[in-house]
Structure 1
Amino acid sequence: MNKLSLKIGILFFCIIFGLITLMLFLLHEAVVENRVQEELDALQSRGNSHRTVLEKHFNKEIIDHVILMESESNTDVVITDEAKYILGSSSKLNSFEKYIKKDIGTIPYSGEIVEENWKREPVISTLSPVKINGQTQGYVYMFQNTESVHNLIQSLNKHFLLVGFISIFVTIIIIIFLSRGITKPLIQMKKATSQINKGNFAVTITRKSDDELGELAKSIETLATDLNYLKRERNEFLASISHELRTPLTYIKGYADILLKRNPPQEEREKYLTIIVTEINRLNLLIKDLFELAKIDKNSFVINKEKIDLSIFLKEIERKLTPAINEKNMNFNVHFQNNLNLFADPIRLEQILLNLLDNAIKYSKTGSLVALDVWKEKKSIHFLIKDNGKGIPEKDIPYIFNRFYRVEKSRKRSLGGTGLGLSIVQELVHAHGAEITLNSKEQMGSEFEIIFKENEK
């Protein structure tokens, strides 16, 4: 048995053993008390029966008859007059005198218990008054040896001990199976996490239930899947960055060599310089995205919120995108409610919208539509960027905001970005306390919705 199951087993045993011991003790005390009370009630009832006979004829003949009846039973009787002078006894009086002389006080007609301490006293005793015409004429004392009570209790103790041992044995068996049943999936999870720690993310854990342990096993499998995905994406990212850096550097070096060594005509020279500038800009953009992510990771960037008049702000966005829209002969519709204000960082908000709109333009065909709708709903401002372009495959949607993820894997220079843009957008949106969602269907287009909540400053 492993250490965990042993610890759980010992803990369960201590708890259950304590509960069983407590319950058996309380039950034993209750049963013993009840049995002793039954003996006392029976003794009192027997004394009351003799009292009833004596009340009809309280004479020596009847007294002797009662004494004779008790001499054949396991109880004893002592009959006295009202002054507690003994008129008859079924046994020797030496052991009964102290109980007869005991001052009890007022005695009810139903009788009174004279002695009930069966643990210390040799007998238990009851008293029944004999009343004739409302006057007390004598008393009937009933005695029973406590040896019979002790024998009864000993028999009861044996039964309780037997039940206790059986309960403990069954408890141990149950605990063994229970602790193993609980710890087995935990041991599997420990082995799985050890494999994950060694870099083996292809782990599976048997789940037999949907309880917390089942959810934990599912979480570990999900973690392994995510780590495997991140490892794969990291490798792809390194390959992508390597490619993205190598390609512009190759262009820059190649054309710079041509300019230095061949001294081409002015027209070609300008062409080569234009290519060099383009590739430098591409490098600059990549480095800028990496720098943005580095700042986000270190929480070193600052969101400077201020009141933005969205009417002016959105018109400026439209103006900046008009050349790109016209170049692809596309339609760009901007709809917004009047008098809308938003407390946000204008530079970061522009970065968010331009990134999303640039993607919409880039992945849409010539002549298609890109729309930006802005409206207020209760205290929230909603931004909806939609297009009818290529859309995003369903399998890619869960990962679209992950860093370094690119739907376009071909690395075409016209389409393939660094895979950092949407990740930066999501981080900036969350930094504003806002939320971003995506709804997309392949070949039908995409919709990105950003919700800025609690807009009041």
Structure 2
Amino acid sequence: MKKEYSRKLQAFLRFLIAIVILLMLLFDGISDFIKGFIEGWSGKEGLGDGGNIQITVVSVVFILIIFGVISHIAKKYISEPARRIADSMNKVSGGNLDVRLETKDSFEFGEMEEAFNNMVAGLKEAQTLREKNDEHNRQLYAGIAHDLKTPMTMVMGYAKLLKKEDISDEELKRCLTVIEQQIEAANVQLEDMLEYSKFGSASYKIIPEEGNIAALLRGILADMFYKFEEKKLVLNLEIPDTVICKYDHSQMRRVFSNLINNAVRHNPENTTIKVTMTEKRSGVEVVVADNGPFLDEELKAHIFEPYMKGKNGGSGLGLSVAKKIMELHGGMLEYMEDAESEFKRFVVSV
């Protein structure tokens, strides 16, 4: 922008110099014109020395008037716009990103003013995005700290119980079970954190391989079946024996495990959980549905954002990670509620 301004200013200065030279060359012509005009008006030929002085004075005044007009034009169309731009730049350098210039077509300064406004708007947008990212990171760190603190606190509490000399075998078994569960929960959180951090890298890629995705889903449900029994949940399955497609096996396991774990963890006893898999022309669709309580509107609107809190709970990193994994597969992960059937569902499309 500065180079463009310098080029235009130099061109205008050359134009002024050319005008001055032209006026000097035409000075005699102007003098003769004024002399002829005065002689014609007075009806006399020859004005003598006094008349020649008058002609010279009038010619000089005429040239000064022309210079005055040129100076006014230069001030209006060059000096003032340049000053406005310079003043606005000083305000921006002082941190004021709300400055805008009124674009005017003045010696092509309108282009510079428009470019300046676009530049400041870009800086403002970048500042807003940075502030939003900072707030997002603060919430993320607070959520991570909270989710890790809970299992660690329980592990410490039950570890102290193990120090009791008169602890029974039943209490010992219960303490070890809780410690194992909490360490597993903390490990899942750490894995989600690690996975989430990888998504910011341009080199991060999934490795799709052809396989039986139905067998993968059945295996995950078999490993988790004891959780359904412990919480007295009703499990309905509609999964074919064989469904072949290309997917990243470890990442898809993470997606399915997260959705099923959430259905178990966030629903009360006697909730019905349905897991279905259907082959479609566009690919494979997996639905994890339950008839537990619906989400509140605040949480539902931000369900796939990390550590979003609602009135009745919140979300960790798991759903955010699952959403990213499905996007990398070229698929989708959606949440929807059906008031008629009273089921809420997560739909995975591969």
Q: Distance in 2 between matches of 1:178 and 1:253?
A: 70
With over 3 angstroms needed to count, the CA separation of the structure-2 counterparts of 1:273 and 1:302, relative to structure 1, is farther
Residue 290 of structure 1: how far off its partner (Å):
0.7
Residue 362 of structure 1: how far off its partner (Å):
2.9
Q: Distance in 1 between matches of 2:303 and 2:62?
A: 74
Q: 2:238 aligns with which of 334, 339, 343?
A: 334
Q: Distance in 2 between matches of 1:292 and 1:183?
A: 46
Residue 275 of structure 1: how far off its partner (Å):
3.0
What is the CA deviation profile of residues 291-322 of structure 1, one whole-angstrom value per residue up to 9, with x for unaligned ones? 45336636799854320233444444554555
With over 3 angstroms needed to count, the CA separation of the structure-2 counterparts of 1:15 and 1:273, relative to structure 1, is same
Letter in 2 for 1:167: I
* Pairs within 5 Å for 1:317-328: 317=220, 319-320=222-223, 324-325=227-228, 327-328=231-232
- Secondary structure of the residue aligned to 1:188 is coil
8 Å CA contact 1:333, 1:370 repeated in 2 = yes
Q: 2:264 aligns with which of 338, 356, 361?
A: 361
8 Å CA contact 1:360, 1:370 repeated in 2 = no
1:429 paired with 2:326, answer yes
8 Å CA contact 2:273, 2:288 repeated in 1 = no
Q: Distance in 2 between matches of 1:448 and 1:22?
A: 71
- Secondary structure of the residue aligned to 1:370 is strand
Residue 335 of structure 1: how far off its partner (Å):
6.2
Letter in 2 for 1:353: F
The answer for the alignment partner of 1:393 in structure 2 is 296
* Pairs within 5 Å for 1:66-145: none
Which structure shows the higher strand fraction? Answer: 1
8 Å CA contact 1:392, 1:445 repeated in 2 = no
Q: Distance in 2 between matches of 1:429 and 1:22?
A: 63
- Secondary structure of the residue aligned to 1:448 is strand
Q: Distance in 1 between matches of 2:236 and 2:5?
A: 73
Residue 281 of structure 1: how far off its partner (Å):
2.6
With over 3 angstroms needed to count, the CA separation of the structure-2 counterparts of 1:391 and 1:159, relative to structure 1, is farther
Q: Distance in 1 between matches of 2:296 and 2:284?
A: 28
Percent identity, aligned pairs only, is 12
Letter in 2 for 1:290: L
Letter in 2 for 1:280: E
Q: Distance in 2 between matches of 1:23 and 1:441?
A: 75
- Please tell me whether Structure 1 or Structure 2 has the larger radius of gyration of its CA atoms: 1
Q: Unaligned stretches of 5+ in structure 1?
A: 1-7, 33-71, 75-152, 190-204, 411-415, 453-457
Q: 2:170 aligns with which of 270, 276, 282?
A: 270
1:370 paired with 2:280, answer no
Number of aligned positions between the proteins: 304
Q: Distance in 2 between matches of 1:73 and 1:339?
A: 118
With over 3 angstroms needed to count, the CA separation of the structure-2 counterparts of 1:225 and 1:313, relative to structure 1, is closer
* Pairs within 5 Å for 1:146-165: 161-165=67-71
8 Å CA contact 2:152, 2:182 repeated in 1 = no
1:245 paired with 2:152, answer yes
Q: Distance in 2 between matches of 1:183 and 1:391?
A: 54
Residue 352 of structure 1: how far off its partner (Å):
0.9
Letter in 1 for 2:257: L
The answer for the alignment partner of 2:54 in structure 1 is none
Letter in 1 for 2:234: M
8 Å CA contact 1:399, 1:405 repeated in 2 = yes
Q: 1:344 aligns with which of 244, 247, 261?
A: 247
The answer for the alignment partner of 1:143 in structure 2 is none
The answer for the alignment partner of 1:293 in structure 2 is 193
Residue 331 of structure 1: how far off its partner (Å):
4.8
- Secondary structure of the residue aligned to 2:94 is helix
* Pairs within 5 Å for 1:432-451: 432=329, 434-439=331-336, 446-451=344-349
The answer for the alignment partner of 1:234 in structure 2 is 141
Aligned-pair RMSD on alpha carbons? 4.9
Residue 245 of structure 1: how far off its partner (Å):
0.2
Letter in 2 for 1:351: R
Q: Distance in 2 between matches of 1:441 and 1:207?
A: 49
What is the CA deviation profile of residues 113-147 of structure 1, one whole-angstrom value per residue up to 9, with x for unaligned ones? xxxxxxxxxxxxxxxxxxxxxxxxxxxxxxxxxxx
Q: Distance in 1 between matches of 2:321 and 2:82?
A: 53
8 Å CA contact 2:195, 2:321 repeated in 1 = no
What is the CA deviation profile of residues 66-85 of structure 1, one whole-angstrom value per residue up to 9, with x for unaligned ones? xxxxxx999xxxxxxxxxxx
Residue 421 of structure 1: how far off its partner (Å):
2.4
With over 3 angstroms needed to count, the CA separation of the structure-2 counterparts of 1:313 and 1:239, relative to structure 1, is closer
8 Å CA contact 1:400, 1:406 repeated in 2 = no
- Secondary structure of the residue aligned to 2:254 is helix
Q: Distance in 1 between matches of 2:138 and 2:347?
A: 30
Q: 2:83 aligns with which of 156, 173, 176?
A: 176
With over 3 angstroms needed to count, the CA separation of the structure-2 counterparts of 1:31 and 1:165, relative to structure 1, is closer
With over 3 angstroms needed to count, the CA separation of the structure-2 counterparts of 1:27 and 1:304, relative to structure 1, is same
With over 3 angstroms needed to count, the CA separation of the structure-2 counterparts of 1:212 and 1:355, relative to structure 1, is same
